[in-house]
Every structure is written in structure tokens, then in C-alpha cells.
């Protein structure tokens, strides 16, 4: 990840909209890029990789088309705007319980992993989410009905805190 380049693109994006990026308010960082708060109380995600930008944009377009801001009790950010040239998506900021980060999703088709890999993935998620895995799994199945195959289920991306069906807090 190149933070300097990401900051430049974030600044350029916000400047065009008469906004500012709050670089002191880093909301997230990961393999795909950086997420910062703007002075308009929105978040901008600046992507390093085109493929992750394209996947996340496709997911948000599907969610927008269906006017979805909630999946089985999990808040989903609303896409506000985007810039394909700068690889920036601007979205609303949500509180837990939430589902975030669609950059590794498969759109229109499930991932083509061998059954043993998928079984290991399921076991790992069941351990991570403990008693909340069935609730998370239900939300993922709902996404699949929209053609979104979520491939990065982990507590940092899917926060069960405050969900009415949550078995414990802090996940």
C-alpha cells in the first residue's frame, strides 16, 4: 500500500467536491487501501488495486439499486459518490452492528475454491464468530441472493456488537 499516493488521491477527490479529508481520523486500513473521514461526516475509501475498487463499486451499485442499507440487522454503508479515475468510493459512516469492506467479494458468481478450502474457511469463521456464526452466515446468504459472494468474513469487517441476536458483545 502506498499511503502517500492514497493521501494525494483522497485530497484531489475531496478538493473537487469542496471537502477536506481528515487524515487524523483514519477509520480503517487493509490490503485494499485506506479509509478516512471527511469534514462532511462521510468516509472515503481510497483503493490501491483496481480489482478491489471494481468489486467494491459493483457491490455498492447492487446495494444502491435495491436501496439496501441493512442486511439481516447489520448496517451497510450507503455509497454516496465515487471516482473511478482516483479509485475512491465515498460512503456513509455506520455504527455496529455492521458489514463493511466489499473489496474481496465475488459478484455474480461464487469463488472457485476447492471444497476442502471452503470447509476450512467455514470452520475458521465459525471459530472467529463463535455463537454468532449462524447469524453472520444468514447475512452472507442474503448477500448471495443479490449476487454478492462475500469472501472476507471476519470480526473486523462484520461487527456483531449490538445486534439483537448477538450471543456476545465485542465481536
Q: What is the pLDDT of residues 95-152, one digit of tens each?
A: 999 999 999 999 999 999 999 999 999 999 999 999 999 999 999 999 999 999 999 9
Q: Which one, of 71, 50, 92, 81, lies nearest residue 148 by Cα?
A: 71
Q: Which residues of 56-94 are buried (b: 16+ CB within 10 A; e: fewer)?
A: bbbbbebbeeeebeebbbbbbbbbbebbeebbbbbbeeb
| All structural domains of the chain | 3-159 (3.30.200.20)
- Give the CB-side neighbour count of residue 4, counting CA atoms within 13 A: 0
Q: How far is CA 147 from CA 57, 75, 109, 164, 170, in A?
A: 14, 18, 7, 26, 29
How far is residue 149 CA from its own chain's centroid? 12
CA 40/CA 18 separation, integer angstroms: 10
For residue 83, list its beta bridge partners: 88
Condensed to tens digits (0 to 9), the pLDDT of residues 160-170 reads: 999 999 986 44
**What integer pLDDT is reported at residue 168 of this predicted model?**
66
23-49 mean pLDDT = 94
SS3 53: helix
Q: Is pLDDT above 70 for 62?
A: yes
| Mean confidence (pLDDT) of the chain | 94
CA 17/CA 80 separation, integer angstroms: 12
Q: Which residues contact 89 (CB under 8 A, 6 or more apart)?
A: 44, 45, 47, 53, 56, 57, 60, 79, 81, 82
Amino acid at each position: 500500500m502506498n499511503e502517500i499516493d492514497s493521501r494525494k488521491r483522497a485530497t484531489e477527490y475531496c478538493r473537487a467536491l469542496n471537502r477536506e479529508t481528515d487524515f487524523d481520523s483514519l477509520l480503517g486500513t487493509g490490503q485494499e487501501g485506506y479509509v478516512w473521514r471527511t469534514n462532511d461526516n462521510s468516509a472515503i475509501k481510497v483503493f490501491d488495486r483496481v480489482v478491489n475498487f471494481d468489486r467494491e463499486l459493483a457491490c455498492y451499485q447492487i446495494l444502491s439499486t435495491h436501496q439496501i442499507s441493512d442486511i439481516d440487522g447489520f448496517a451497510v454503508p450507503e455509497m454516496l459518490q465515487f471516482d473511478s479515475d482516483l479509485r475512491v468510493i465515498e460512503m456513509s459512516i455506520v455504527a455496529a452492528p455492521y458489514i463493511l469492506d466489499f473489496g474481496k467479494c465475488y459478484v455474480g458468481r461464487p469463488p472457485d475454491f476447492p471444497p476442502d478450502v471452503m470447509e476450512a474457511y467455514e470452520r475458521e469463521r465459525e471459530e472467529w464468530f463463535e455463537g454468532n456464526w449462524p447469524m453472520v452466515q444468514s447475512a452472507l446468504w442474503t448477500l448471495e441472493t443479490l449476487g454478492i459472494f462475500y469472501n472476507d468474513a471476519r470480526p473486523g469487517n462484520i461487527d456483531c456488537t449490538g445486534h439483537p441476536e448477538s450471543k456476545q458483545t465485542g465481536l
